[in-house]
């Protein structure tokens, strides 16, 4: 009887560390990361967020220090989210267009701390500024008004650009807002300010800890299903992305991240544009809970999930694990 040997042994290249390195198809570096940061009023303030263990809100001085830390770690960009004080929230979210609001002051604080060594991405949406926690203006029936909201978002993006934001990132899911913001940026001398559109943003149960962080969880009335996407839909995400590209988005985002990697892949294959994903607060909390429960190794879970985004086709990932991941990748 002649022995039968497999013609191909896929285990052969896996046998040694050098060979695995040689055959690796994707790489993850600190330059793939965008670090979301929460800003709060005061000085010398660090407020831990209960549902996001290891993540804090920082006052402006701390935000400057975090940005310096990012530069030192090789993280190219930070994303800012404000925890607006209750007395600055209103039904119309007018604080969003105040050129001296917390967000704008945070942009300037980072510029003072780091100059042009880091990219600053600002969130465009009204939920951190409204008393009802919705991302836009609501009518008497609680419906989020599209076009009236877009007018406010345009003003919000402009004060952020004026403060020095490099990338404005509308996370509100109103129709037509990318085109309106792009036109306004051009008209006001901000032709080089980029737009990263939250193009395929789903009405997700994974945003809970974020809403704690920006103080909107207790305020939110109803849900966001009237504007954020149905998790059942994939084709619709491609239509959202097509519109945002046509309206002038420089890059598009899929959000949440891990449960939606199929969307990342479909967007990347269909459109030749930079695609980013947001590994959102609930995903971060799941990894932290698993690690705390001894169900998995934190560092390995973080690096594996971030690599999965690269493999799916992402140019980069917004992740609260950015500083940890960068530290691990820099050794
Ligand atoms: C809202 C916004 C949300 C997040 C980013 N921008 C939450 C929401 O839509 O309610 C979530 C990010 C996260 O969970 O980490 N403009």
Residue 184 lies in a domain: yes
Q: How far apart are the first and last CA of the chain?
A: 52
Smallest CA-to-CA distance from 96 within 186, 182, 158, 165 is with 158
Q: Of 127, 200, 214, which is best to mutate to test ligand 1, by the most ligand atoms within 8 angstroms of its C-beta?
A: 127
Residue 258 lies in a domain: yes
CA 207 – ligand 1 centroid, Å: 6
Range of the domain at 43: 27-222+232-329
Residue 10 lies in a domain: no
Residue 125, both tokens:
């949406």
The kind and range of the H/E element at 279 are: strand 275-279
The pLDDT score that the predictor gives to residue 218 is: 87
Residue 326, both tokens:
């960068």
Q: Quick check: 311 and 25 in contact, CB under 8 A?
A: yes
Which atom, in ligand 1's list, is nearest to the CA of 206?
14
The pLDDT score that the predictor gives to residue 178 is: 98
- ipTM value of the model? 0.97
Half-sphere exposure of 199 (CA within 13 A, CB side): 35
Residue 21 lies in a domain: no
Backbone angles phi, psi at 160, to 5 degrees: -70, -45
Which atom, in ligand 1's list, is nearest to the CA of 279?
15
Residues in the chain: 331
| CATH of residue 148 | 3.20.20.70
Residue 179 lies in a domain: yes
Cis amide leading into 256 (omega within 30):
yes
SS3 for 56-99 is EEECHHHHHHHHHHHHHHCCCEEEEEECCCHHHCECCCHHHHCC
Residue 27 CA: distances (Å) to CA of 10, 21, 307, 315: 20, 10, 7, 11
Closest residue by CA, ligand 1 atom 8:
207
Active-site positions read 201, 255
Which atom, in ligand 1's list, is nearest to the CA of 216?
10
For residues 168 and 161, what is the distance between their CA atoms, to the nearest angstrom?
7
Q: 162-216: per-residue pLDDT in tens?
A: 999 999 999 999 999 999 999 999 999 999 999 999 999 999 999 999 999 998 8
Overall number of domains in the chain: 1
Residue 156 lies in a domain: yes
Residue 92 CA: distances (Å) to CA of 39, 169, 252, 268: 21, 20, 27, 36
The pLDDT score that the predictor gives to residue 221 is: 85
Residue 50 lies in a domain: yes
Q: What is the CA 111 to chain-centroid distance, rounded? A: 20
Q: Which residues line ligand 1 (CB under 6 A)?
A: 123, 125, 127, 135, 171, 207, 210-211, 224, 280-281
Q: Residues 6 or more apart from 109 whose CB is under 8 A from it?
A: 60, 61, 63, 64, 67
Neighbours of 1 (CB within 10 A): 3
pTM of the full predicted structure?
A: 0.97
Q: Quick check: 264 and 236 in contact, CB under 8 A?
A: no
Q: What is the CA 97 to chain-centroid distance, rounded? A: 21
Residue 11 lies in a domain: no
The pLDDT score that the predictor gives to residue 2 is: 75
Q: pLDDT 10s per residue in the chain (331 long)?
A: 678 999 999 999 999 999 999 999 999 999 999 999 999 999 999 999 999 999 999 999 999 999 999 999 999 999 999 999 999 999 999 999 999 999 999 999 999 999 999 999 999 999 999 999 999 999 999 999 999 999 999 999 999 999 999 999 999 999 999 999 999 999 999 999 999 999 999 999 999 999 999 988 889 989 999 999 999 999 999 999 999 999 999 999 999 999 999 999 999 999 989 999 999 999 999 999 999 999 999 999 999 999 999 999 999 999 999 999 999 999 8
Q: Which residue in this structure is represented by tokens 């060594």?
A: 117
């Amino acid at each position: 009887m002649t022995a039968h040997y497999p013609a191909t042994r896929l285990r052969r290249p896996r046998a040694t560390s050098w060979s695995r390195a040689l055959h690796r198809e994707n790489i993850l570096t600190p330059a793939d990361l965008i670090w979301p940061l929460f800003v709060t009023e005061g000085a010398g303030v660090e407020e831990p967020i209960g549902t996001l263990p290891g993540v804090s809100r920082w006052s402006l001085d701390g935000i400057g220090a975090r940005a310096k830390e990012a530069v030192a770690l090789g993280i190219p960009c930070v994303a800012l989210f404000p925890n607006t004080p209750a007395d600055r929230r209103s039904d119309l979210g007018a604080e969003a267009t105040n050129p001296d609001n917390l967000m704008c002051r945070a942009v300037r604080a980072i510029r003072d701390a780091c100059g042009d060594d880091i990219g600053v991405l600002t969130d465009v949406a009204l939920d951190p500024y409204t008393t009802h926690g919705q991302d836009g203006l609501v009518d008497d029936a609680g419906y989020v008004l599209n076009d009236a909201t877009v007018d406010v978002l345009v003003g919000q993006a402009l004060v952020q650009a004026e403060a020095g934001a490099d990338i404005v990132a509308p996370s509100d899911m109103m129709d037509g807002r990318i085109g309106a913001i792009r036109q306004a940026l051009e008209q006001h001398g901000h032709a080089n300010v980029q737009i990263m559109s939250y193009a395929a943003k789903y009405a997700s149960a994974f945003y809970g800890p974020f809403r704690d962080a920006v103080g909107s969880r207790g305020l939110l009335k109803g849900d966001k299903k009237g504007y954020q996407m149905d998790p059942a839909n994939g084709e619709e995400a491609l239509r959202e992305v097509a519109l945002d590209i046509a309206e002038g988005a420089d890059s598009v985002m899929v959000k949440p991240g891990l449960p939606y990697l199929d969307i990342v892949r479909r967007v990347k294959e269909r459109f030749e544009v930079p695609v980013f994903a947001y590994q959102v607060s609930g995903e971060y909390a799941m990894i932290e809970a698993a690690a705390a429960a001894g169900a998995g190794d934190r560092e390995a879970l973080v690096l594996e999930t971030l690599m999965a985004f690269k493999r799916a086709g992402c140019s980069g990932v917004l992740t609260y694990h950015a500083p940890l991941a960068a530290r691990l990748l820099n050794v």
